[in-house]
Amino acid sequence: MDILTFSTLIFSGSLIAGFLGALTGLGGGVVIVPLLTLGFGVDIRYAIGASLVSVIATSSGAAAAYVKEGFSNIRLGMFLEMATTFGAFIGAGVAALISTQVIAIIFGLVLLYSAYLSFRGHEPDPYDENDAPDFFAHSFHLDGSYPDGHAAVPYHVHHVPTGFSLMFLAGGLSGLLGIGSGAVKVLAMDQAMQVPFKVSTTTSNFMIGVTAAASAGVYLSRGYIDPGLAMPVMLGVVVGALLGSKVLTNSKPKLLRVLFAGIILILGIEMIYNGMTGRI
């Protein structure tokens, strides 16, 4: 196989990943690394570098649309980015210290967790009116409001220390695995901090690009980002995500979501298996 064929195949695979990721709302980044390592035999370090770059592209593209709608909470996002960027920087550093097998196994576990979350679907916000107002939410002005028709619906942010710690973990996984960690970010805001679902998904998306940029520098100086490989991956994911967002903007087709979650589940098992048998 020559480079032209190789690039075309990777472009096509990334396009499908970006398309399905945008359609299902699961993000395409999480399947890029398994696609490259399991499908094309690429070393996981090159795969992580290429995946991280594509994550920045899709997150920035999607955030451009979300920010304008007024759902994302910029103060909350900035506050939590202190945790995610620091976590990402540490995670990217850890990636150089542990073996590729261990990275593959951790990656597989994250895939299993993402599949579980999407099979389960979105639970109602665990909002409790009696929860005491959070000290940090108050002193850092984290509470906000989101548009609902013509009215602005106010909301409070709870359990900031728990959310902040989970965000550090999300950043660490992002830096270690070259993914957006959107699932962990939504978990932190949705479940722990009790932010409304729409606000937490859009704010999380807004944060992913900045988080990924924090580990990109480390990856670049270690030589993980290969232009020849990152080029078809990035262009494929960007075109795919653009097509996906044009096809459907509001409804998330349930069947497609379950199908994509199924693919993620299988890839997760395969990553763990390959990691354990030392084939990665």
Partner 1 sequence: MTEKKHAISDEKIDGIISILLRVGVAISSVTVFCGGVVYLMRHGGESPGYHIFVGEPAQFRTIPGAAKMAEAFYGRGIIQLGLLLLIATPIMRVVFTVFSFLFQKDRVYVGVTLIVLCVLLFSLAGGR
Answer whether 21's CB lies under 8 Å from 258's CB: no
| Smaller CB separation from partner 1, 115 or 157 | 157
- Considering only residues 209 through 228, tell me which ones interact with partner 1, judged by CB under 8 A: 209-210, 212-218, 220-228
Integer Cα distance of 97 and 75 in angstroms: 34
Alpha helices in the chain, H assignment, sequence order: 3-24, 29-34, 40, 44-69, 74-97, 100-120, 135-139, 160-177, 182-187, 197-222, 227-247, 254-276
Integer Cα distance of 21 and 58 in angstroms: 10
| Smaller CB separation from partner 1, 96 or 259 | 96
Partner residues linked to 145 by β-bridges: 154
- By the rule CB under 8 A, 155 interacts with partner 1: no
Integer Cα distance of 170 and 85 in angstroms: 10
| Residue choice 16, 25, 39, 70 for contact with partner 1 (CB under 8 A) | 70
- By the rule CB under 8 A, 114 interacts with partner 1: no
Listed ranges 12-20, 114-122, 176-184, 206-214: which one lies at the site for partner 1 (CB under 8 A)? 206-214
Interface contacts to partner 1, rule CB under 8 A: 1-4, 6-7, 36, 40-43, 45-46, 53, 56-57, 59-61, 63-65, 67-68, 70, 74-75, 78-79, 81-82, 85-86, 88-89, 92-93, 140-141, 209-210, 212-218, 220-232, 234-235, 238
